[in-house]
Every structure is written in C-alpha cells, then in structure tokens.
Amino acid sequence: MTPVCRLCLVGFLTAALAGAWPPVIDCSAVPGWKQHGEVRAFVPDTLFEYMNGNAEGYLLYEFRRMTGVTCRSGEDTILIDISEMASPEMAYGIFSANRHPNYEVSRIGAAGQILERRATFVKGNYYVELAADTEKDNRKTLEAFARHLEARLQGGTDPPA
C-alpha cells in the first residue's frame, strides 16, 4: 500500500470512528478506577429494564439509546450512563428537568452540575449521568470523569437558544 493510500485509510477510519456508537467509557482514565462488569446498552424498547419508573421521562425527551458502565475503585463504585437524545434541545431539556435547582450550573459541555454523589452534563445530543454509591464527597472524582467524557463526546457546547 502506498503512503498516500495508507494516509487516506487512516483518515477514513478516524472519521468513521469519531461518531461511532457506543462512545467508549474508559474507567481507567481516572487513576485507580477500573471497569466492573459488562457494558450496559439500552434502546427505547428496553430502557424500562434498567430504570423502571423513570424511563418515561427519557422517552419524553426523544431518547434514542444509552450505553453505560460501572467503574470501581476499592469498595467505591460510580455508574456512568451516556444517553443519546434526538437533538441538542432534547438533551438540554432532560438535563434541565433533572438538575438540582438549588445548585449552580457548571461549564461542562453546554451545561453541567457536580454534586457530592452525582454529576450530570449535556453536550450536543448527549446527556451524561454519573452516580457515586458512597456517602462521602465524590466531587473531585465525578468531575474528573465528567471532564474526560466531555472531551471525547462530539457535539456543541453552547446551550440551545
């Protein structure tokens, strides 16, 4: 293969993978953390299996699909779920509906929140949720994961007009 063809192939594969689903969630991106268990994947017809009682809210915001993993460090676990919605407006809508009204919105993606046990943000069509299972303050770890994911997800960082 000629160098020009090789360069074209690399460019094509890079472009094809950039928008690939599911986005890769790498627990080891934050030191000391590893993936625990299998990758979760849901579509509108199966979302009830994962979040019975809350799936309707996602479907109202034109939920398309979700992928998620559980990350573990010692006895601590963090669940990370990335939901793809039909549009940036729908992703921002579900973020707005689920954010804590008494806390400030952070500049992660188009908008985000980092709380002691929960972090959420929206970027493009993606709504990202991180949930820690411990009672301690997990903000530093949650923010590290959120920043890592934000850098890898495609989409705009301006809130919808």
pTM of the model: 0.85
pLDDT digits (tens, 9 = 90+) for 52-62: 889 999 999 99
Report angle CA 154, 160, 161 to the nearest 5 degrees.
150
Please, what is the end-to-end C-alpha distance for the chain in angstroms? 48
Chain-centre distance for alpha carbon 118: 12
What pLDDT, on a 0 to 100 scale, did the predictor assign at position 135? 85
Average pLDDT, the chain: 88
Pairwise CA distance, residues 117 & 150, whole Å: 18
Upstream peptide bond of 22 is cis (omega within 30 degrees of 0): yes
The full set of domain ranges for the chain reads 22-152
Strand-strand pairing, 76-85 and 111-114: unpaired
What pLDDT, on a 0 to 100 scale, did the predictor assign at position 111? 96
What pLDDT, on a 0 to 100 scale, did the predictor assign at position 84? 97
